[in-house]
């Protein structure tokens, strides 16, 4: 009897954990075509000259945006770079880039969210969207 209970528990426990884990993960909302189009326009105006058409950057000058941890990773750090700029060297994929990235005070919170969502989902990238709320939260901590 005890062996039967243990065997049943051995089968049910992993199944219960599996279904619990699935229930806890929320599907990512799809990114709208409008968001991507707005983000592309900002990218073309503000980012393209340094990071290039395909997000590959310029070797030893401007870092690539395609498939890099700093683009696909921590959204707060990425937002901060757009808001404050970057004056220190950055290492990306084993290469060091030393060009200064200027701050973009002219961009609205919506434009920052849109362009970062665009970058995080272009050039072979696939990551969650950046929201206006996330941009506002980062800006509030910078001031």
Q: Is 11 within a domain?
A: no
**101 phi and psi angles, rounded to 5 deg:** -100, 120
20 falls within a domain:
no
Number of domains comprising the chain: 1
Task: Residue 60: give its domain's CATH number.
Answer: 1.10.760.10
- 56-109 confidence digits (pLDDT tens): 999 989 999 999 999 999 999 999 999 999 999 999 999 999 999 999 999 999
Q: How far apart are CA 133 and CA 84, in angstroms?
A: 17
Identify whether 71 is part of a domain: yes
7 part of a folded domain: no
pLDDT of 29 above 60:
yes
Q: Which domain holds residue 109?
A: 31-142
CA distances for 85 relative to 25, 28, 47, 100, angstroms: 34, 29, 12, 8
41 domain residue, yes or no? yes
Whether 81 is covered by a domain: the verdict is: yes
| Helix 33-46 vs helix 109-120: crossing angle, to nearest 10 | 100
Q: Is residue 10 part of a domain?
A: no
**10-26 confidence digits (pLDDT tens):** 555 555 554 444 445 55
CB contact at 8 A, 134 and 113: yes
Q: Does 8 map to a domain? A: no
Average pLDDT over residues 105-127: 98
Q: What is the pLDDT of residue 22?
A: 47
């Amino acid at each position: 009897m005890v062996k039967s209970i243990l065997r049943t528990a051995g089968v049910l426990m992993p199944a219960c954990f599996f279904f619990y884990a699935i229930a806890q993960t929320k599907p990512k909302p799809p990114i709208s075509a409008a968001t991507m189009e707005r983000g592309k326009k900002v990218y073309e105006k503000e980012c393209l000259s340094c990071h290039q058409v395909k997000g590959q950057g310029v070797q030893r000058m401007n870092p690539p945006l395609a498939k890099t941890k700093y683009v696909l990773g921590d959204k707060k750090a990425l937002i901060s770079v757009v808001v404050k700029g970057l004056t220190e060297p950055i290492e990306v994929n084993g290469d060091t880039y030393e060009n200064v990235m200027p701050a973009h005070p002219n961009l609205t919170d919506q434009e920052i969210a849109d362009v970062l969502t665009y970058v995080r989902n272009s050039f072979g990238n696939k990551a969650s969207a950046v929201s206006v709320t996330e941009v506002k939260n980062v800006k509030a901590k910078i001031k």
